[in-house]
């Protein structure tokens, strides 16, 4: 079906009632809508997020750092974007773009705000000397793929995912346009992973952590309803093998749970303030009174 009836006006105006599933989270202006201070926990790193793909990237990085023995304890506070938490004054002060995740690094003499998931990954990788080579071609290759993800995923999420799953009406042209681009991106990954274990080379890196929540979860059938069938993800065998290997990592399994408010209760840990929270404060345990 095509939309032959729409003629763009000479000057665009905002229709608050025509935003689809995420109408409450989108608006054409920046800045806070209300005053709200953010909570601060006891750990050096304060993360304010939700378990969207971009949020999961950072959760996984923290859990991988801890798994590797680094002193990277963090407090993860839930930002309910459907409720407009990202437009509170405290959050906007950390991220003027009002998108999750955002973080404050309080480990130094002065707090440092860090926003954009790729920037947070690089900040943590450089701080701990982990999951990012320090110099040379290997470092550049990791950054190449991190930047690829940052530039490509909007076509998957805001393009294909939106029009295929979330738009209030289905239109053939945008679905076909973004399905084609998503399949091209999967083919890019599939060709690269034909001759190496990890996307940037021999070592697991922040590039894998960035790409996996988007394209790994897509191939594992966890994104946008039945999109995996629609896109014939079984064709991308190398991506699927890579996705399963990352999915099996304990730190990734924990990272998927942090700030998660959907799915099965045992997969949800709304806030994380210590490693013990995974054993005592997931939503199934809270719901059962354990």
What are the 10-residue block averages of pLDDT along the chain, 290 residues in total? 74 80 82 97 98 98 98 98 96 98 97 98 98 98 98 98 95 97 98 97 98 98 98 98 98 98 97 98 83
* Whole-Å CA distances, 212 to 57, 83, 242: 8, 27, 9
Phi, psi of 75 (to 5 degrees): -105, 130
Looking at residue 25, its pLDDT comes to 80
Q: What is the pLDDT of residue 290?
A: 55
* pLDDT the model gives residue 5: 77
Q: Given this model, what pLDDT does residue 26 score?
A: 85
Alpha-carbon distance of 56 to 53, in angstroms, equals: 5
- pLDDT of the residue at 1: 45
Phi, psi of 258 (to 5 degrees): -70, 130
Query: What's the rounded Cα separation, in Å, for the pair 111 and 29?
Result: 27
Report which secondary-structure segment, H or E, holds 112: strand 112-115
Do the Cβ atoms of 121 and 210 come closer than 8 Å? Answer: yes
Which residues, in sequence order, are bridge partners of residue 46?
75, 104
- The candidate with the shortest Cα–Cα distance to 87, out of 14, 41, 29, is 29
E strands, 200-277, in order: none
Which among 119, 122, 115 is positioned nearest to 92, based on CA atoms? 115
Architecture of the CATH domain 136-254: Up-down Bundle (1.20)
Tokens of 56: 């999961």
Residue 196 and residue 202 in contact, taking contact as beta carbons nearer than 8 Å: yes
Residue 196's contacts (CB-CB under 8 Å, 6 or more residues apart) are 202
Q: What are the boundaries of each domain within the chain?
A: 136-254
């Amino acid at each position: 079906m095509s939309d032959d009836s729409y003629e763009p006006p000479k000057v665009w105006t905002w229709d608050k009632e025509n935003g689809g599933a995420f109408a409450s989270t989108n608006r054409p202006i920046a800045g806070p809508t209300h005053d709200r201070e953010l909570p601060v926990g006891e750990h050096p790193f304060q993360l304010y997020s939700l378990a969207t793909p971009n949020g999961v990237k950072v959760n996984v990085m923290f859990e991988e750092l801890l798994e590797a023995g680094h002193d990277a304890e963090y407090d993860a506070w839930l930002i309910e974007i459907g409720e407009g938490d990202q437009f509170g004054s405290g959050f906007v002060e950390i991220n003027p773009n009002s998108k999750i995740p955002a973080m404050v690094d309080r480990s130094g003499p002065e707090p440092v705000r860090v926003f954009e998931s790729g920037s947070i990954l690089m900040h943590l990788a450089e701080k701990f000397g982990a999951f990012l080579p320090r110099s040379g071609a290997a470092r550049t290759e990791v950054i190449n793929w991190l930047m690829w993800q940052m530039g490509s995923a909007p076509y998957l999420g805001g393009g294909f995912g939106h029009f295929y799953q979330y738009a209030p009406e289905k239109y053939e042209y945008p679905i076909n346009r973004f399905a084609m681009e998503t399949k091209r991106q999967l083919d890019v990954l599939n060709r690269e992973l034909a001759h190496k274990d990890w996307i940037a080379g021999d070592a697991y890196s922040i590039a894998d952590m960035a790409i996996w929540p988007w394209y790994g979860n897509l191939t594992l059938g966890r994104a946008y309803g039945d999109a995996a069938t629609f896109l014939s993800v079984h064709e991308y065998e190398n991506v699927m093998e890579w996705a399963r290997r990352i999915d099996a990592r304990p730190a990734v399994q924990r990272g998927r749970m942090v700030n998660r408010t959907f799915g099965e209760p045992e997969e949800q840990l709304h806030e994380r303030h210590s490693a013990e929270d995974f054993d005592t404060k997931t939503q199934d345990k809270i719901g059962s009174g354990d």
